[in-house]
A and B are shown apart, each in its own frame.
Chain A
Amino acid sequence: MTFIHKYPKAAKVAKANFIVAFIALAIGGFFGFVQALHRTNVFRGFFNSGEYYTLLTGHGVLLALIFTTFFIAGLFVWGVTRSLDREPENLAYTWSWFWLMTIGTIMATVAILGGLVPDSSIRAAVLYTFYPPLQAHPLFYIGLALVVVGSWMAGADWFWSYRKWRGENPNERIPILSFMTLFTMLMWYVCTIGLALEVVGLLIPWSLGLVTEIEPLLPRTLFWFFGHAVVYFWLLPAYYVWYAILPKLSGGRLFSDSMTRIVFIIFLLLSTPVGYHHQYADPGISVGFKFYAMASTLLLLLPSLITLFTVVASMEHGARQRGGKGYLKWIGKLPWDRPAFVGCALAGIMFAAGGFSGMINASMNINLLIHNTIWVPGHFHLTVGTAVALTFMAITYWLLPQLTGRKLKHKTLALIQPYAWFLGMTLMSNAMHRAGLAGVPRRTAEPEYMGFEFEPIFGTMTEMKWQIAIGGTILTISLILFLWVVVASWLAGEKSDKPVDDHIPEPLSGVEHTPAILDNMKLWFTLALVLVILAYAFPLWEMVADGIFSPGALPRPS
């Protein structure tokens, strides 16, 4: 018996979400390949430089917003169902959020890809941050809004299951998989307030022509109200995998249940009131707010540093149970020949490196050294592009058999895949970081200028260009391997009653040691709202006091 046999309905929902996620990954990944070759001037024959920005919008939206959201939905359906031991409460409701998100995705994708049709009036080359006054077709904003509304409904679905479960189990502690899901969704509700205000309150009416002028700083600020927490919305499900599943894949147990819960609570509290750290270089925001955001941001290092310890200690526990010895020699005893483990572990290593560049980004004045340079994509391809994406791919090797009742095929290819991703990303990302230090901008189709040359501090421009192009190519190959393994296993994997060992052992320090207050969702949610109000009420008030749409700028076609 595995998941699909016990919960056939939930398995179907999870699989549907994964299908959309992987299609988005395939299209978005292809655009990434084109970008890597185009930017570096290795090959510009696919599309012209004006179309580059349509592709880049597609890459950002399909990978950072769509792939992540759908994968997370599938993962959470699996975890909530399993840990509460109940199928979704009402399947019509469950499928309605899935279809709402899917329709929204199709609308946004059509709006973006319309930009590749000559003279099309349906365009959305506004990138995934869609700062006005560059204007996209209304389909784009409405589609994204539907995705978000669908994700809210999905969250409500999991709370619904939880309430039912609570009714039947009044004295039990929230199972850890559900705990992590619910706290991630609470954070999502807090941060998407900003996005909803921006998109529904400002951008949709404006793109429909109901208002003509818009004040650019206000939607930008609302976007970043959402925009930092969204990175934790991607990351926390990866942490969820690292806390709940990776210890077992390493042959051990989660080190501490309490620390896991504490970490998720800190993320709920601090993820949103830090958004100004994306606006250190913005006029119109006082230095005091920037400083406050920086202090809170650096405090957010704490839960990630705790995660580092707890997760590594859980892996070390596994290694020691597998016979590992010594201070560092135990690392060799980890299952470096199992794709799911390898992917998660390599993702974690890259995250440690990305953590460092994140510390630089977060630290107010030094941010100006790298703000809007290609350093920043270098950073987040380590975090969302690897820590999150590679973890999701790796855990698919473990989840898919449970959802389909079929064994994984092509285990060797599946094993090569995470190593290839790691190699490709090492090449691409280190070069992006160094090029950024020389001042090479991000989001630029042809970062070559007539009047001056970039002067790199480490390495040469030629070497970096080739590392980005070759790294991007290796990443693309890795992605194709992943898709191939998934499709082959899904369609033709050997059917089995127990296609994978899906048992999750209890933590070393279990929930019996965890203070009950950590499970008090009302308390933590209220506190999170208070912190957001403290951080944002005054600056937002200042921005709208002179009129919501003024000083107003006119829309510009994208």
Chain B
Amino acid sequence: MHIHKFEQFWIKLSFVLIAFFVATVVYGFVAMDLKVIGDHATIDPQNLADTKFGNPGVREVTRNGQTEYEVYVQTIQFAFNPGTAQPIEVPVDTRVTFYITSPDVLHGFDVAGTNLNTMAIPGQVAKFTTIFPEVREYGIVCNEYCGPAHHVMEGKIKVVPKSEFDKSNLVE
């Protein structure tokens, strides 16, 4: 086989580029805590009422001696519950774990302008943990087509100072 020496060189460089990409992804994943969601749990989408999703909202939990929060969200045609009717309120600089599922069709849960971006799939529970670094409001966008009013589906996250976090809205 006859491969020109310039092309041989280019093929080697291509391998270098590919290795470099894989390396940065792994580095980000391991050292910079830039994760993706994985396989958490399945759930019966027709019986969410009997689960924590039946009473969606923010819960306080203690893990490793730390106060953390869990947020259960249902994405429904065409709203986030909670998120649309009332904002999801969480404290700044605290670990917050989201659990998201859908009783009807596929939706997206994208906190606009951040790396929080997941699919909501009936039958699957999407789970991810994050820490909000600043006090501000974020918009939530449904970024997967979910039906004729998909474009009105939006919500809000309100990140407040720890001292102002109002625990009376927590759910049991």
Contacts and interface: CB of A to CB of B under 8 A. Distances in A.
A309 B117 CA distance: 36
Of A439, A445, A554, most buried by chain B (CB within 10 Å of CB) is: A439
B90 to A, nearest CB: 16
A558 B77 CA distance: 12
Contact of A364 (B2, B4, B36, B156): B36
A442 interface: yes
A438 B139 CA distance: 12
B56 to A, nearest CB: 16
B125 A283 contact: yes
Contacts of B143: 371-373, 441-444
Among A258, A301, A441, the one with the most B-chain Cβ atoms within 10 Å of its Cβ is A441
> B36, B103, B120, B142: which has the most chain A beta carbons within 10 Å?
B36
Contact of B28 (A127, A366, A450): A366
Contacts of B14: 301-302, 305-306
A302 B21 CA distance: 13
A550 B7 CA distance: 51
B38 interface: yes
By CB atoms of chain A within 10 A, which of B37, B43, B116 has the most? B37
Interface stretch (B57-65, B66-74, B107-115, B162-170): B107-115
A438 B113 contact: yes
A340 interface: no
A522 to B, nearest CB: 21
Contact of B4 (A134, A256, A359, A368): A256
B122 interface: yes
A287 interface: yes
B148 A298 contact: no
Interface string B67-101: 00000000001000000000000000000000011
Contacts of B43: 551
A282 interface: yes
Interface string B18-54: 1001101100110000111111101111100000000
B123 A286 contact: no
Given A217-B123, A255-B4, A452-B138, A294 B22 contact: yes
A450 to B, nearest CB: 7
Contact of B45 (A52, A220, A313, A553): A553
A283 B11 contact: no
A439 B21 contact: no
Nearest to A449: B154
A372 B39 contact: no
A259 B7 contact: yes
A553 B146 CA distance: 14
Interface residues of B, number: 73
Interface in A428-459: 438-439, 441-447, 449-452, 454-455
A284 B113 contact: no
Contacts of A50: 148-149
Nearest to B104: A556
B3 A258 contact: yes
B145 A553 contact: no
A294 B126 CA distance: 20
Nearest to B118: A281
Nearest to A290: B36
Contacts of A258: 1-3
B105 A134 contact: yes
A444 B151 contact: yes
A450 B79 CA distance: 13
B39 A298 contact: no
B112 A439 contact: yes
B154 A450 contact: yes
Given A256-B4, A449-B141, A515-B1, A133 B22 contact: no
A509 B121 contact: no
B32 to A, nearest CB: 9
Contact of A305 (B10, B25, B45): B10
B77 to A, nearest CB: 7
A321 interface: no
A216 interface: yes
B113 A454 contact: yes
Given A256-B4, A449-B141, A554 B46 contact: yes
A120 B156 CA distance: 36
A-B residue pairs, 6 tightest by C-beta: A452-B139, A439-B112, A551-B123, A283-B126, A441-B143, A284-B124
18 contacts: A50-B148, A131-B106, A133-B104, A216-B106, A255-B7, A281-B117, A281-B119, A284-B42, A284-B124, A301-B18, A363-B25, A373-B143, A439-B113, A446-B151, A454-B113, A514-B1, A550-B123, A553-B104
Interface of A: 49-50, 52-53, 125, 127, 131, 133-134, 215-217, 220, 255-256, 258-259, 279-287, 290, 294-295, 298-299, 301-302, 305-306, 309-310, 313, 359, 363-369, 371-373, 438-439, 441-447, 449-452, 454-455, 509, 513-515, 546, 550-554, 556, 558
